[in-house]
Copies of this chain bind each other. A is one copy, B any other.
Amino acid sequence: MFIAMNRFTVPLENAEAFEALWLGRESHLDRMAGFVEFHMLKGPEADGMRLYASHTVWESEAHFRAWTRSDEFRAAHARAGDSRKLHQGAPTFEGFAAIQHLSADAAA
């Protein structure tokens, strides 16, 4: 399992507009091979800024890499300029590989 996160630092006065833009966008993820799930996450607030993170779970890093090379990726990011003026600096990308998994189901 591979998790792709993009971290956005958003001034509090832009938070509502930033959320509205994300919630209203057209996502093309559900057409992609290896896509598991996506969450938009609202994180902690500090110094007048709130941390947001897009959080996408893929079956593997290879599936994520294929997405970044796809037409659907380009289409999904074509309107990223609308969001850019709402957050500070560039979003920070972090990719994570799962090395351990514990689930509530396994305990049942």
A104 touches B35 (CB 8 A): yes
B98 touches A40 (CB 8 A): yes
A51 touches B107 (CB 8 A): no
Q: How many copies does the complex hold?
A: 2
Count residues of chain A with CB under 8 A from any CB of chain B. Answer: 35
Q: Say yes or no for A13: interface residue by CB 8 A criterion.
A: no
Mark A2-43 against chain B: 1 for CB-CB distance below 8 A, else 0: 010000000000000001001100010111000111111111
B94 touches A38 (CB 8 A): no
A102 touches B30 (CB 8 A): yes
The residue of chain B having its C-beta at the shortest distance from the C-beta of A100 within the complex is B40
A40 touches B107 (CB 8 A): no
